[in-house]
Amino acid sequence: MKKVIALAGNPNVGKTTLFNALTGLRQHVGNWPGVTVEKKEGIMKYKGREFLVVDLPGTYSLTAHSVDELIARNFILNGNADVIVDVVDSSCLMRNLFLTMEILEMGVKNIVIALNKIDLAEKKGITFNFKKMEKVLGIPVVPTNAKDGTGIEDLKRKIVAVADGRITVNPVVPVYDDIIEREISHISEILKETALAERYNLRWLAIKLLTRDEEVIKLVLSHLGHEKMDEILHHIGELEEHYKKSLDIIIANQKYEFIDNLIHQFVTHFAEQKETLTDQLDRILTHPVYGMLSLLAIFYFLFKFVFTVGTPLQESLDSFFGVLGDNIGRYIVNDTLRGLIVDGIIGGVGSVLSFFPLVFLLFVAMSLLEDSGYMARAAVVMERIMRKFNLPGKSFIPMVLAFGCNVPAVMATRALDDERDRILTMIINPLVPCSARMVVITFLAGVFFERHKALVAISIYAISLGLALISALILSRFVIKGEESPFIIELPDYLIPSWKSVVIHSWERSKEFLKKAGTVILAGAVAIWYLSNYPQPVGTGLSYAEIIGRALEPVTKLMGLDWKAAVSLIFGIIAKENVIATYGVIYGIGGNEEALGVLMRQAMSPLQAFVLSLVTTLYLPCIATIAAIRAEGGTKWALVASLYNLILATVIGILVYHLGLFIMG
Amino acid sequence: MVMIMYVHLTHMNEGEEGVVVDIHGGIGARQKLIGMGITPGTRIRVLKSSPPGPIIIAVGSSRIAIGRGIADKIIVRRELR
């Protein structure tokens, strides 16, 4: 069994960069069991030995109030780690050591501090006496700069030494005032009699009881019974009377005082408060007006980058799969087998795989936003607008990414800490038109509304975005209820992102897209191929697809759409741009867009075309998106999202069609 | 002369400094503030406050943005110069 090293620390301390520095490319991204919190694991090599490095979620403390904190806390509490590396931002010591003390209070002895961003501290004018720091804290301290690799070898050496028990660690623990200390001893005495004494640090349990930690209260209650528990809680109530405040505040306060005392023993020079580049940038970037303009400009350029680089790649991949299919097809004699492999598997999977460059680049864009520190500012700027629709400011990011592709957008909802916010953002996400739907919208607008095509395309976007926001309001009120999450967010110093981190992160995430997409899309592509080729191929009017299309016609007729539209929409579930391609197949003219335009103009009124592009935008998300929602939010919410969009599209389609008929008389 | 007034964080102006006196509100939000270094006794400076957007404060060397709903539950002893 490999020994386990756990990385703990605040967000924005360079924990991920340190993780990358320790593990290199030998890493794996998954989820913590039962929750959609990202779990990163990697292998650290040292002198021929291998260690498993686990990146715990970045947290500010270890309370029971957030999933992230509970994951980190339980991991440490259950003794799952042989060594804990506490990553501390040396330029922001006070707050970072708060988490350190929370960890130490659990009775942890196998710990090393990585005093990270040491370059930044020096630049800010903070000077340390490292020897003294180790002595005062009783923990090995290694100054590091994960970005350029400073101190990494030294850190590895210390980690291994602690893992092997060659360094004895004797950490300090915070001491509180007499009244609280007396109560801690009192509670510990009571707990000593229980089985809890074997598994937990009693002092930690006592302190958590004083702060009325729900999980610990539950745990202790199961061992003590109601009578003794009530007695303890009564005592705590009396203490709160005495301090006139909740004990969690009192204890936190005293903990900070304790830390302040420690820091003064080993920090020899403190930073002067002066305006940094970050402050200057923030004056513009968080400004109500300039901030909004900068946000628009930043996202404009990011998208320009994503599409300029991504679209040619996408097109060449697309034609690559076309050529691949043709060439392989030549060697397959059996018609059915050829159809299955060329049209079904290669065609279907290829059309989704060709989105891979776009997905990867969107992840790159997102990582750049995250790692540079801008993401937090975007959340601040958007907070007041999004809040009007019961959404947090952060949910803006997934909504913007969705203009590129909904799959990375749905995966990006992970950045939201609150479960309710995350589900809500995920479900309305498909209503933001992705680039595949842009193809359909612009094609139909171009064919049917030559003079006003831009206006029509924009109106489709406006309607669906409007519906996304209104849906958030409605769903948050009636379906995904729950408390509004408090908006408290740290604005880290701006950083130039490290390309290595950005590429590793984007690659890990897009690999997930491939894996998830791979299986579901393959099955979907084969199913659609079957429906369109049996018992007779599409175009004959006898395929299952057309039979289903005709069966759906009574419903689509209400929106003014015939069976051809119904069939196209079915194929659009694989990938939305298929809606147009299917018309080509039905008319038997393949990919000739010009001829297709002429034929469609004869068969449809502009109103019908408008409804078709609107319904294409709104109805069922594509398979890849449904799979992403299922992976991130579970089967239930994937079903809710699919049904909700389907119903919404039907209702809006019918409404708009009849409204149009009425207006045009 | 230094004038002292107790106010909600939402009533502080940009550039003003003060010391946090009390944090009301739900335990979840309070715990989060505590972890970020904001407790009674903490010295803060308001960097940005433009209603109805979040308030940005400096705490030590870090910057924290707080929604108005919660900022309204933080009581600060304001120091006017």
Of B29, B48, B61, the CB nearest to A488: B29
Q: Is the peptide bond before A171 cis (omega within 30 degrees of 0)?
A: no
Whether A352 and A515 have beta carbons less than 8 Å apart is answered as: no
Q: In this complex, is the C-beta atom of A63 within 8 Å of any C-beta atom belonging to chain B? A: yes
pLDDT of residue A510: 83
Of B28, B39, B47, the CB nearest to A486: B28
pLDDT of residue A590: 65
Of A212, A288, A487, the CB nearest to B50: A288
Q: Do B65 and A287 touch (CB under 8 A)?
A: no
Rounded Cα–Cα distance for residues A598 and A503 (Å): 45
Specify the length of chain B in residues: 81
**Computed over its alpha carbons, how large is the radius of gyration of chain A?**
29
Q: In this complex, is the C-beta atom of B26 within 8 Å of any C-beta atom belonging to chain A? A: yes
Query: Across the strands, what pairs with B77?
Result: B6, B19
Q: Do A252 and B34 touch (CB under 8 A)?
A: yes
- The residue in chain A having the minimum alpha-carbon distance to the alpha carbon of residue B63 is A491
pLDDT of residue A38: 80
Q: Do B62 and A60 touch (CB under 8 A)?
A: no
Q: In this complex, is the C-beta atom of B2 within 8 Å of any C-beta atom belonging to chain A? A: no
Query: Across the strands, what pairs with B43?
Result: B19
- The residue in chain A having the minimum alpha-carbon distance to the alpha carbon of residue B50 is A288
pLDDT of residue A175: 96
Of A248, A252, A491, the CB nearest to B63: A491
Q: In this complex, is the C-beta atom of A245 within 8 Å of any C-beta atom belonging to chain B? A: yes
Q: Is the peptide bond before A535 cis (omega within 30 degrees of 0)?
A: yes
Whether A353 and A360 have beta carbons less than 8 Å apart is answered as: no
Rounded Cα–Cα distance for residues A454 and A451 (Å): 8
Amino acid at A660: G
Q: What number is the ipTM of this complex?
A: 0.93
- Scanning A456-485 for CB atoms below 8 A from B yields 483-484
Whether A347 and A525 have beta carbons less than 8 Å apart is answered as: yes
Q: A91 to chain B, minimum CA–CA distance in Å? A: 7
In the block, tokens 């992976």 appear at A631
Q: Do A63 and B23 touch (CB under 8 A)?
A: no
Whether B55 and B11 have beta carbons less than 8 Å apart is answered as: no
Q: In this complex, is the C-beta atom of B66 within 8 Å of any C-beta atom belonging to chain A? A: yes
**3.65.10.10, 3.40.50.261, 3.40.50.2300, 3.40.50.300: which CATH number matches A3-163?**
3.40.50.300
Q: In this complex, is the C-beta atom of B15 within 8 Å of any C-beta atom belonging to chain A? A: no
Of B32, B39, B63, the CB nearest to A486: B32
Q: A192 to chain B, minimum CA–CA distance in Å? A: 28
Q: In this complex, is the C-beta atom of A215 within 8 Å of any C-beta atom belonging to chain B? A: no
Rounded Cα–Cα distance for residues B79 and A589 (Å): 77
Rounded Cα–Cα distance for residues A68 and A485 (Å): 15
Among B23, B31, B42, which would you mutate to test the A interface (most chain A Cβ atoms within 10 Å of its Cβ)?
B31
Amino acid at A611: V
Q: Do A486 and B37 touch (CB under 8 A)?
A: no
Token pair in block for residue A161: 């030494």
Of A249, A282, A287, the CB nearest to B39: A249
- The values of phi and psi at residue B58, to 5°, are -100, 130
What band does B74 get if pLDDT is binned at 50, 70 and 90?
very high
Q: Which of A30, A16, A510 is nearest to A306 (CA)?
A: A510
Q: In this complex, is the C-beta atom of A445 within 8 Å of any C-beta atom belonging to chain B? A: no
Of B30, B60, B63, the CB nearest to A248: B30
- The values of phi and psi at residue B36, to 5°, are -85, 5
Q: In this complex, is the C-beta atom of A378 within 8 Å of any C-beta atom belonging to chain B? A: no
Token pair in block for residue A569: 């929409």
What are the residues whose beta carbons fall under 8 Å from the beta carbon of A391, sequence distance 6 or more? A421, A424, A425, A469, A472, A476
Q: Rounded to 5 degrees, what angle do the CA atoms A577, A593, A607 make?
A: 70
Alpha-carbon torsion (A208, A246, A249, A58), positive or negative: positive
Q: What is the CATH number of the domain that holds B41?
A: 2.30.30.90
Of A246, A271, A286, the CB nearest to B61: A271
Q: Do A245 and B40 touch (CB under 8 A)?
A: yes
Q: Which of A235, A110, A93 is nearest to A161 (CA)?
A: A110
- b/e per residue, A308-323, with b = 16+ CB within 10 A? eebeeebeebbeebbe
Rounded Cα–Cα distance for residues A32 and A80 (Å): 14
Domain that holds residue B37: 3-80
What are the residues whose beta carbons fall under 8 Å from the beta carbon of A193, sequence distance 6 or more? none
Q: How many domains does chain B have?
A: 1
pLDDT of residue A138: 96
Averaged over successive runs of 10 residues, the pLDDT of chain A (665 residues) comes to 94 91 83 77 94 94 88 94 96 94 95 95 89 96 93 96 92 95 95 91 96 93 91 92 91 95 90 80 92 92 87 86 86 83 77 80 89 92 89 89 89 84 94 89 90 90 94 90 82 89 85 72 76 81 88 93 90 84 77 83 94 95 89 91 95 96 87
Q: State whether residue A621 is helix, strand or coil.
A: coil
Q: Do A248 and B31 touch (CB under 8 A)?
A: yes
Sort residue B23 into left (φ over 0), alpha (ψ -120 to 50) or beta.
beta
Rounded Cα–Cα distance for residues A343 and A526 (Å): 9
In the block, tokens 């020897």 appear at A131
In the block, tokens 């109601």 appear at A226
Q: Do B50 and A486 touch (CB under 8 A)?
A: no
Q: A282 to chain B, minimum CA–CA distance in Å? A: 9
Q: B75 to chain A, minimum CA–CA distance in Å? A: 13
B74 chain-A contacts, CB cut-off 8 A: none
Rounded Cα–Cα distance for residues A70 and A270 (Å): 33
Token pair in block for residue A421: 């916010």
Alpha-carbon torsion (A575, A479, B24, A106), positive or negative: negative
**B8-25: per-residue pLDDT in tens?**
999 999 999 999 999 987
**Computed over its alpha carbons, how large is the radius of gyration of chain B?**
11
Q: If you ran DSSP here, which 8-state letter would residue A431 be given?
A: G
Domain ranges of chain A: 3-163, 178-269
Specify the length of chain A in residues: 665
Whether A638 and A590 have beta carbons less than 8 Å apart is answered as: no
Query: Across the strands, what pairs with B6?
Result: B77
B61 chain-A contacts, CB cut-off 8 A: 91-92, 124, 271, 273
Rounded Cα–Cα distance for residues A208 and A194 (Å): 17
Of A63, A253, A278, the CB nearest to B39: A253
What are the residues whose beta carbons fall under 8 Å from the beta carbon of B73, sequence distance 6 or more? B8, B23, B24, B25, B29
Q: In this complex, is the C-beta atom of A603 within 8 Å of any C-beta atom belonging to chain B? A: no
Q: Which of A405, A435, A412 is nearest to A509 (CA)?
A: A412
Cβ neighbourhood burial of A242 (10 Å; 0-12, 13-18, 19+): exposed
Whether A57 and A68 have beta carbons less than 8 Å apart is answered as: yes
Helix axis angle, B27-35 to A247-266, nearest 10°: 0
Q: B1 to chain A, minimum CA–CA distance in Å? A: 23
Sort residue B25 into left (φ over 0), alpha (ψ -120 to 50) or beta.
left
**Which CA distances in Å does A228 have to A200, A212, A213, A608?**
19, 15, 17, 72
Q: Do B63 and A278 touch (CB under 8 A)?
A: yes
A380 chain-B contacts, CB cut-off 8 A: 53-54, 56, 65
pLDDT of residue A591: 64
Q: Which of A229, A195, A192 is nearest to A209 (CA)?
A: A229
Whether B18 and B12 have beta carbons less than 8 Å apart is answered as: yes
Rounded Cα–Cα distance for residues A461 and B4 (Å): 52
Whether A188 and A202 have beta carbons less than 8 Å apart is answered as: yes
Token pair in block for residue A441: 């919208």
CATH-assigned architecture of domain A178-269: Orthogonal Bundle (1.10)
A65 chain-B contacts, CB cut-off 8 A: 27-28, 31-32
